[in-house]
Amino acid sequence: MKMDRRSFLKTAGALPIIGLGTTSYAEQYPARPIKIVVPASAATSIDVAARFFIEPLSRSLKTPVVVENKPGTGGLIAYASTAKTQPDGYTLMLAGIPMYLLPLLSTGTSQFNARADFTPVTRVARVSLGVVVAPESPYRTLDDLIQAMKKKPNELTYSSQGIGSTAHLCSVLFTHMSQTKAQHVPYKSTTTATTDVAAGRITFTTQTAPAVLGLIQSGKLRLLAVTGQERWEPFPDVPTVQQAGVADFELSSWLDFVAPKGTPEAVLQLLTREFSEIANSPAYRTFCKQQIIFPDVVGYQELARQMPAEEEKWKRIVDLSKSS
């Protein structure tokens, strides 16, 4: 039987935070609406994922849960402002790889630091990318593309929605591990980065399923491989990059609910339990299947242990992009 949330918090205890008291505060949580910040515009894939959790979380916690979209500057506005929010459990964020990338890519003093300013709450999904080319492209398999890049170093091109984007860094890692070279062409949006590939002006790009699924299904892009550990279910004949011959290659983004550093322990325990229950539900599994994302439920303690290695991983890839 599910434990009442106030009994759960009382049993779990809470760490004190300045100005908020200790156990009494934890026992009263949540006493007002909870806000989930999304570092992107409405109707984007991360926004749609965040909104899936609103209704079941609000029903379980018996308090309104709302989404606040903060697009702009690759997510910097959202991450920097959320990092400075009171760590009281009422402001959460659905974060992705930019939580690590933005500080690493900063040319000056970074406005936030992933490990210093945020604490993980729950991972709810992993998101792989697809390597796509135009339907008229001569490259019908990933090996075709690799061999062409080896024969013509830096003559083929790949696009992304900007320097330092996940799409850019995924392609950097792909060319590095396949021992090939190609020219990066950065765009200002995912739409233009993909439509120029569809038009044949750019050789290839690597993008998440929501960005390219419609174009693949309408025959305007050809999917050569996917970057994660699993194939995309609608395309069972399309291999992963590793299956296509690039040994040990795997790169996925993820969706993590996070909170400002200093959020009480008991609140983190409660939220982890709530998000995990929702993310393990049949309805969420169906949602992920429709979005071509992969459920991956990890609690806050394990995610906190993983943060140093995750930061180091992306630092290596960023350094690689600067030297390529």
38/48 Cα distance (integer angstroms): 10
Q: pLDDT tens-digit profile of 118-147?
A: 999 999 999 999 999 999 999 999 999 999
314/299 Cα distance (integer angstroms): 21
Residue 289 lies in a domain: yes
Q: For the whole model, what pTM was predicted?
A: 0.86
Q: What is the pLDDT of residue 53?
A: 98
Q: What is the pLDDT of residue 1?
A: 46
One domain for residues 160 and 123: no
Within the chain, which residues score under 70 in pLDDT? Answer: 1-26, 108-109
Residue 323 lies in a domain: no
One domain for residues 151 and 220: yes
Q: What is the pLDDT of residue 294?
A: 95
Please say whether the beta carbons of 82 and 111 come within 8 A: no
Which two tokens mark 81? 């402002």
Residue 96 lies in a domain: yes
One domain for residues 15 and 114: yes
188: domain CATH number? 3.40.190.10
One domain for residues 17 and 92: yes
Q: pLDDT tens-digit profile of 231-278?
A: 999 999 999 999 999 999 999 999 999 999 999 999 999 999 999 999
Q: What is the pLDDT of residue 26?
A: 62
267: domain CATH number? 3.40.190.150
Q: Which domain holds residue 177?
A: 128-226
Please tell me the total count of domains within the chain: 2
End-to-end Cα distance, the chain: 55
Please say whether the beta carbons of 14 and 265 come within 8 A: yes
190/192 Cα distance (integer angstroms): 6
Alpha carbon 252 to chain centroid, angstroms:
8
Q: What is the pLDDT of residue 109?
A: 65
One domain for residues 14 and 96: yes
One domain for residues 101 and 152: no
Q: What is the pLDDT of residue 25?
A: 59
Please say whether the beta carbons of 256 and 124 come within 8 A: yes
